[in-house]
Chains A and B, each alone.
Chain A
Amino acid sequence: MRRRNILKYIGLVLWLIFIVFPIYWTVVTSLKTREDVIIEAKYAPWVDFTPTLKNYWNVYKEQNTGKYLLNSAVASFSSTIVALLIGSMAAYGLSRFSYKFGFMRNKDIFFWIISQRMMPPIVSVLALFVMFHAVKILDTRLALIITYITFNLPIVVWLMRSFIDQVPTSIEEAAQIDGASYMQILFRIVLPTIVPGIIASFLLCMIFAWNEFLFALILTFDRAQTMPLLVAFQRSQEAIKWWNISALSVITIMPVLILFLLLQKYFLRMTMLGWGKE
């Protein structure tokens, strides 16, 4: 019995090392100088090399990092807010009313929304490239915001519907008798009672939008480029400057890591909610 437990802990710790090591390596490399990287692997600051923050200063000055950060922030934040608005309206509708569009009932509509994520983005993005080219919004934040709203909507509808389903309808009925419209009921009564659900959806959408690569790669090429593109295109330089890339990577990862740590206390609860449903 004891031996079994020790084996379990060994497994857990090994996986922990596997998970943490790449993150550690990026952080450590971002503190190295060129000489510390190119000769051989060096493992720990103050042990086999002297750490420096010079790389951060360099990428900030040379790479115009501020522009990319701003693009990423604006695109993820605005798309998330709009997706939350549109998504909660739809989720509320699907939770409270019975729809019938042709053969489609609530269940079919819900499945149709969720199944949007099954389509590989490459299928729509080539056409979007041509479409956005035609209406001249290529390489704008607007192009990114519109596409990010679309790919986050299924998640918002899925999550928000499971949260809204838990809210008892009695207060809403009372409000309805008092003459409140559906939009008023949704925004004044229902949404304030499911703040944890809104926060969870918000953080999740932010993370997805912040990390998105393919749409940004195809739909932007200069002014509206986001952080992941800045990091990705370090590759095309003659000699790869690992120390700079690592500094940029740390800058890119930090915001999502913080968002995630805020999110993690909701994580399990919302997964169980979503899972109990189907």
Chain B
Amino acid sequence: MRKEKPAGSLIDSTRVPRRLMLFPLVIIFLLITIFPFIFTIALTFTKVSLTGGLHISWNGVYYWSKLLHDGRFWNSVSRTYLIVVCSVFAEYVIGFGLALILWERIKLSSFFQVFYLIPMALTPIAIGYSWRMLFHETKGPLNDILGLLNIRPISWLTNAKTAIFPIIVVDVWQWTPFIFLIMFAALQSFPNSLIEAARIDGASKRTIFSRLIFPILWPSSMAAIFIRIVECFKIIDIIIVLTGGGPGISTETTTLLAYNIGLKSFDLAYGATIATAFFLIVVLTVVVLLGVVNRVTGSSERA
């Protein structure tokens, strides 16, 4: 829109303030994310002691080789993956479904919308306690209601086999609204004329969805899913409240493990190693997923 200014002294006098607009942001990012990131990587090759002043010494690849054989680390990775895959899948199916229902100009639509978005805004720590009460073995309403159906009380949070389920439920509770919001917004800008045309051609509702709505909204779906995957990998607060990573290490995610090792056992360097390895895993996951998605959509476009 804005045309290039003619060459001359004007350019030099304006270029400086132009770059200045980005300056504070770049400084903050360099100081608070880029530098700490490099620092964390450096820490993985050291040994840190905080007793009696800060003391850092070289330690080689000791922690990295320790990490490869650390069953607790790989356990945490598999736990994190399990939570991410189950939660995001459920969130997408439910969120998209609700968005589709509310899209069809149903009565009370805006009333439902307001309520459906609320969980996103609420403090996870506080909500975590609420769910912990709901899942409580003897005093919680969930087992109370199941009791009416003659189902014996289930020790949701204290059994290593079931403890991951409440965590997924809470994540779904809190973040389905996000997918709902994105898909609902995407549906609002969906060209209605296309659907009218398909309907006139006699297409059934199911065909309209699978041949028209779903493919056209695919980019929005992918974006929503990606954002959720990346955010879900960071999960820690509701776990701290619900199970504290237990029983044993059955719900210990990698972020929680890095925190436990780095700041509870005060092995900062090993905590940093876990965090760095975790970041690599997240990036790798996203890159692989993007590759798969591009290949799938690429080949379907060619077909």
A→B interface (CB under 8 Å): 5, 8-9, 11-12, 15-16, 18-23, 25-26, 29, 37-41, 43, 85-87, 89-90, 92-94, 96-97, 99, 109, 113, 116-131, 133-134, 146-147, 149-150, 153, 157, 169, 181-183, 207, 210-211, 213-214, 217-218, 227-228, 231-232, 234-235, 242, 245-246, 248-250, 252-253, 256-257, 259-261, 263-264, 267-268, 271-272, 275-276, 278
Contact = CB atoms under 8 A, between A and B. Distances in A.
Given A128-B32, A253-B122, A12 B101 contact: yes
B126 interface: yes
A97 B18 CA distance: 7
Interface in B233-261: 233-234, 236-237, 240-241, 244, 254-255, 258-259
**Top 7 closest A-B pairs, CB basis?**
A93-B21, A249-B126, A260-B121, A127-B36, A271-B185, A127-B39, A124-B36
B237 A41 contact: no
A22 B182 CA distance: 24
A25 B133 CA distance: 8
A38 B136 CA distance: 11
Contacts of B186: 275
Instruction: Give the size category of B's interface with A.
Output: 35 or more
A123 B278 contact: yes
A70 B55 CA distance: 35
B125 A264 contact: no
Residue of A20, A122, A128, A256 with most partner-chain B CB within 10 A: A122
B130 interface: yes
A99 B22 contact: yes
19 contacts: A19-B116, A23-B118, A86-B28, A118-B282, A123-B275, A126-B40, A126-B258, A130-B39, A130-B268, A149-B32, A181-B17, A182-B18, A211-B121, A211-B124, A214-B255, A231-B126, A242-B139, A246-B130, A276-B189
A22 B173 contact: yes
Interface in B39-84: 39-40, 43, 48, 50, 54
B33 A124 contact: yes
A127 B43 contact: yes
Contacts of B121: 207, 211, 256-257, 259-260, 263
Contact of B118 (A97, A121, A245, A257): A257
B216 interface: no
Interface of B: 1-2, 17-19, 21-22, 24-25, 28-29, 32-33, 35-37, 39-40, 43, 48, 50, 54, 94, 97-98, 101-102, 106, 112-127, 129-131, 133-134, 138-141, 144, 173, 181-182, 184-186, 188-189, 220, 223, 230, 233-234, 236-237, 240-241, 244, 254-255, 258-259, 262-263, 268, 271-272, 275-276, 278-279, 282-283, 286
Given A93-B22, A252-B125, A134 B130 contact: no
Nearest to A165: B1
B258 A18 contact: no
Interface of A, helix, strand, loop or mixed by DSSP: helix
Nearest to B277: A123
Nearest to A147: B32
Contacts of B236: 122, 213-214
B16 to A, nearest CB: 10
A153 B30 CA distance: 13
A211 B122 CA distance: 7
Contacts of B140: 41
Nearest to A87: B25
Contacts of A252: 123, 125-126
A23 B130 contact: yes
